[in-house]
């Protein structure tokens, strides 16, 4: 979370984009996150915007949320005073010991926590940007007009594919950087 002054200092240091996800829909938020409120996240986005920094913001699917709650993430982003310049939809990665990974299904009729490729492809067709983890799914999403991937060793706590692996996939798909 950023205070009102911190983004100004980041902007003065040359920061142009700030990534800050809302993680999930307002309806599902309290079932997943207890360390901060959704309003805390929205306040951070407002502080970043007030400093003239562009926002990249999205959420995570595959944590046991319903389809309506997945749509709720997009509705939340669409109803922000200014739309994010970049939207990330991340697929939940099972991490042993993390309650979401170890918990039973949260809703009767909720999609499998391991989101299907079709769900991910539909999401990317809506938001046009996506962070995903399998070559097959990345290829499908690029065909559905995704235009961003994260490159690097680690994203938060989850290892990313090696840079050479990403480069090879892009080459196989005929995508030029």
- Rounded CA-CA distance 109/16 in Å is 41
Nearest in space to 130 (alpha carbons), one of 115, 119, 142: 142
Residue-wise pLDDT for 86-139, tens only, equals 887 777 777 677 667 555 554 444 555 444 455 555 555 554 433 444 566 566
pLDDT for 150-171, tens place per residue?
Answer: 556 555 556 655 667 777 777 8
pLDDT band at residue 13 using 50, 70 and 90 as cut-offs: very high
When comparing pLDDT for 103 and 80, which is higher?
80
The CB density around residue 68, as the number of other CB atoms within 10 Å, is 13
The pLDDT value recorded for residue 15 is: 92
For 18-55, write each residue's pLDDT tens digit.
999 999 999 999 888 889 999 999 999 999 999 999 99
Give me the residue label for tokens 């993430």.
73
Q: What is the CA radius of gyration of the chain?
A: 17
Please give the pLDDT value at position 85.
85
On whether the CB atoms of residues 27 and 67 are closer than 8 A, the answer is no
Tell me which of 4 and 98 has the higher pLDDT. 4
* The predicted structure's pLDDT at residue 173: 78
**Furthest-apart CA atoms within the chain: distance in Å:** 49
Alpha-carbon distance 161 to 28, whole Å? 29
Architecture of domain 6-115: 2-Layer Sandwich (3.30)
Distance CA 56, CA 86 (A): 4
Give me the residues paired with residue 19 across strands: 56
Tokens of 133: 């983890």
Residue 9: band (very low, low, confident or very high) from pLDDT cuts 50, 70, 90: very high
Confidence bin at 16 (pLDDT 50/70/90): very high
Domain boundaries, the chain: 6-115
């Amino acid at each position: 979370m950023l205070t009102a002054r911190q983004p100004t200092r980041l902007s003065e240091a040359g920061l142009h984009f700030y990534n800050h996800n809302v993680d999930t829909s307002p309806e599902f938020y309290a079932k997943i996150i207890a360390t901060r409120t959704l309003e805390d996240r929205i306040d951070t986005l407002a502080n970043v915007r007030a400093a003239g920094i562009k926002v990249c913001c999205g959420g995570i699917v595959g944590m046991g949320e319903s389809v309506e709650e997945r749509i709720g993430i997009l509705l939340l982003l669409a109803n922000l005073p200014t739309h994010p310049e970049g939207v990330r939809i991340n697929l939940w990665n099972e991490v042993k010991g993390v309650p979401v990974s170890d918990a039973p299904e949260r809703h009767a009729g909720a999609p499998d926590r391991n989101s299907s490729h079709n769900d991910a492809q539909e999401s990317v067709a809506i938001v046009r940007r996506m962070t995903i983890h399998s070559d097959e799914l990345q290829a499908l999403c690029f065909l559905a007009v995704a235009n961003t991937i994260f490159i690097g060793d680690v994203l938060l706590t989850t290892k990313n594919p090696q840079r050479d692996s990403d480069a090879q996939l892009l080459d196989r798909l005929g995508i030029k950087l």
